[in-house]
Chain A
Amino acid sequence: MKQNNMLAMILAGGRGTRLLELTKKNAKPAVYFGGKYRIIDFPLSNCANSDINVVGVLTQYESVELNAYAGAGQRWGLDARGSGVYVLPPREKDGTKFDVYQGTADAITQNIDFIDKFDPEYVLILSGDHIYKMDYADMLSCHKANNADCTIAVLPVPMKEASRFGIMNTDDEGRIVEFEEKPEHPKSNLASMGIYIFNWKQLRKELISDMTAEGSHHDFGKDIIPNFLNANKRLYAYKFEGYWKDVGTIDSLWEANMDLLNKNNELNLDDPNWKIYTEDIPTLPHYVGPTGKVEHCYINQGAIIRGEAVDSVLFNNVDIDEGAFVSQAVLMPNVKVGKGAKIYRAIVADGVKIDDGAVVGSPDSEEIVLISKRVKKGE
């Protein structure tokens, strides 16, 4: 906690319904990405690399797997004295009725006691849904330099897409003068990334008044940020440049995986100075058999390839049998592809078996298919 007096809270309760079957039994932050990672590895590794050593993970929807995963703080090096990853699902408290988190702000409100215990000067609010690398320590220095009450990370987006985002309008100094949620006629292209640094005392006060405010959605974007602006508090934008992707749909998840096949991809997961940490699974290096062939692929250890894989991302313990052909696909952990099977433009969920001779997807299809259960020949 000492390092920079900032504690991070990751909002990881979202359902991610647009990821369909991938999030039916699993929360979105626990969804696999990039050959060996899960989405939540990104904010957690960013925290670890930014010298933040206490992280609360607010979980709610289908959280058993996510809780078990995030609770093992040593994966991100967050297990030294004074460090920790704390999994915080809704809990019953003395004197209040037990309820799920009503909104993003309510999730923090219900954990005020947790945050108080560490007595931080600053609180960093993150979402567990995005793929990016960011130095939160740098964001905090800007927050301090601006003498801000709240700093919001923003991403310049193409103007024509700005109406899909929460847009921050700033003055010349970067101070936020207006916030518009999905404006029809955007005045700026600075989209909120859902990453906030607050002075804890001020946020705490605001959360307590929001708790009982009538008509409040208990949401950062809808309530807390507008209230801060109305109260004429000092809100600043922190401009982020680099790779950032919301992998909220099957298409965007597939695209983000495919981005990794480009050597000069902006994300660069192999930067020795900003590693993304994840679960360590004991497996051999990946094995390409004498009949195997790989081309333009991103392959994790433990994969076995006896068939052919092209333009694909293969996770640990994927097994592609002889004569099989995999193209433009993302095969999650433990996927088995039978002899002579063909997979085109698809995401195959973890543990799914594609039988011998089965065909999945089509090479000319615009659409990306999600395969979440066994596929038999002729299906």
Chain B
Amino acid sequence: MCNALGIITYNDSSVYVEGMQKYRPIAGFSFLGRYRLVDFAISNMSNSGIDDIQIYVNGNPRSLIDHVGTGRHYNINSKHGHLSLVPVYSEGGTSRFTTDISCYAENIHAVMENHNDYVVIAPVNMLYKGNYEELLKQHIESGAEVSVLYQHVDNAKENYIGCDVLQMNKQRGVLSIDQNLGNYKSRYLSLQTYIMSKEIFKTLVEEAQETSSMYWFKDILNDKCVDMDIRGLNYRGHIYVINDLKSYYESNMQFLTEEKMKDIADPEWPVYTRTSDSAPAIYLNGGTATGSLISNGCEISGVVKNSIVGRSCKIGKDALIENCIIMPDVEIADGAHLKNVIVDKHSRIAKKKDLAGLEEQPLYIGRRENV
């Protein structure tokens, strides 16, 4: 048991994944063939013993309502535990710019009435194995008012653009939270994961509202760096940040190395998802795969190299799939050749097509398209 309420939150408009986000919020993105991104955040909390979880979703929540359901598959106690999906709603207007603060304010009663004493806030677009029980312990021992998870990165010039970065003193006291504009290689990347008591959370939300209706949670934290004890907590494991199409592609691809694949396939720290009860994958004559992750329900008659293939895909005879992400329920016809392509769900690539993107700029095929 972990004495915290879990909050899984969405990103501001600096994070936008071209193409994919048109169809669903980032939380609902298909990942590693059989998951949705939200599964990783929920599983972290569930594995940490957090039984009460709120998931804030900005964008069409349809796919997530279906996927998350009662939350039973996340191994959360089905009676005293509770998983709630909170769609961001804005009366008569677009919710695209609705801040996390306004959502928290709207639900502050549910937070305060919860029996846990702390809150753990985690973003849905950052994937890592976080043991919040352990981190909460460190937070309490440190005496800090707010703890922010961070990792030192030395490739911030090309990556993590628009993400939050921390300025810290030697005691890891946070001096400011800025946006990464790609000016420096070496930065302290914020994992946008915050731990604090419920009371401090409430105060921060209220003060943010008083300050500006445009304020996000990180903005009020940045303001408070001077008066409050806000400290960084170093996270040492692998992190994967999804903030555009390229990073989505690269994050997936990284799991094709055995070391990273095994790290996330940790039996002590499972990732839960909704099962579709499909049969094992079948390789028919001529079908083969190397360096790939292939989901159940697939029928492989062609050649798959260095790719991720989602549930219940059909790969036709003499088809060649290379460095691709094929989302669930896609059909690739006989003889089609694909390289560096992301194919969204339910699409169909017809005969004898040659589709190729660049490694740095993968080609994206939208949902339910017929190519």
Contact = CB atoms under 8 A, between A and B. Distances in A.
A298 B290 contact: no
A74 B32 CA distance: 26
Given A35-B280, A263-B282, A270-B278, A284 B287 contact: no
B283 A289 contact: no
B261 interface: yes
A368 to B, nearest CB: 20
Contacts of A34: 279-280
B315 interface: no
Given A287-B258, A287-B292, A263 B277 contact: no
B6 interface: no
Given A277-B277, A284-B261, A287-B261, A299 B283 contact: yes
Q: Place the interface of chain B in its size category.
A: 35 or more
B59 interface: no
Interface string A268-290: 01100001111010111111111
Given A282-B272, A296-B285, A289 B294 contact: no
A36 interface: yes
B287 to A, nearest CB: 7
Contacts of B273: 282
Interface of A: 34-36, 74, 260-261, 263, 269-270, 275-278, 280, 282-302, 304, 306, 313-314
Contact of B279 (A270, A302, A304): A270
B297 interface: yes
B290 A293 contact: yes
B234 to A, nearest CB: 27
A288 B290 contact: yes
Interface string B260-276: 01001100001111010
Nearest to A313: B280
Contact of A289 (B258, B272, B299): B258
Given A286-B293, A290-B290, A300-B296, A263 B32 contact: no
Contact of B282 (A261, A283, A290, A301): A261
A40 to B, nearest CB: 16
6 contacts: A275-B278, A276-B277, A287-B293, A288-B291, A300-B281, A301-B295
A-B pairs, top 6 by smallest CB distance, nearest first, are A35-B280, A269-B279, A282-B270, A285-B295, A270-B279, A300-B280
Given A299-B282, A300-B296, 4 more contacts: A36-B279, A269-B280, A286-B293, A304-B258
A290 B295 CA distance: 17
Given A280-B73, A294-B283, A296-B284, A288 B294 contact: yes
Contact of B296 (A276, A301, A313): A301
Contact of B275 (A269, A280, A313): A280
Nearest to B309: A285
A295 B279 contact: no
Q: Which of A276, A285, A290, A300 is most buried by chain B, counting CB atoms within 10 A of its CB?
A: A285
A212 to B, nearest CB: 46
Nearest to A306: B258
Interface of B: 32-34, 72-73, 255, 258, 261, 264-265, 270-273, 275, 277-285, 287-297, 299, 306, 308-309, 312
A311 B295 CA distance: 19
A298 B288 contact: no
Contacts of A291: 290
Contacts of B258: 287, 289, 304, 306
A304 B306 CA distance: 14
Given A289-B290, A289-B291, A301-B34, A283 B283 contact: no
Nearest to B299: A263
B296 to A, nearest CB: 5
A288 B289 contact: yes
A35 B34 contact: no
A306 B290 CA distance: 9
A28 B291 CA distance: 37
A285 B32 contact: yes
A36 B73 CA distance: 18
Nearest to A265: B282
Nearest to B298: A285
Nearest to B284: A263
A301 B270 CA distance: 14
B67 to A, nearest CB: 14
Given A282-B270, A296-B284, A275 B291 contact: no
A178 B283 CA distance: 46
Q: Which of A277, A297, A298 is most buried by chain B, counting CB atoms within 10 A of its CB?
A: A297
A291 B292 CA distance: 11
A230 B277 CA distance: 45
A284 B281 contact: no
A286 B270 CA distance: 15
Contacts of B309: 285
B344 to A, nearest CB: 18
Contacts of B295: 285-286, 301
A293 B278 contact: no
A167 to B, nearest CB: 34
Contacts of A295: 283, 287-288
Contacts of B312: 270
A282 to B, nearest CB: 4
B287 A270 contact: no
Nearest to A261: B282
B265 A284 contact: yes
Given A287-B258, A289-B290, A282 B271 contact: yes
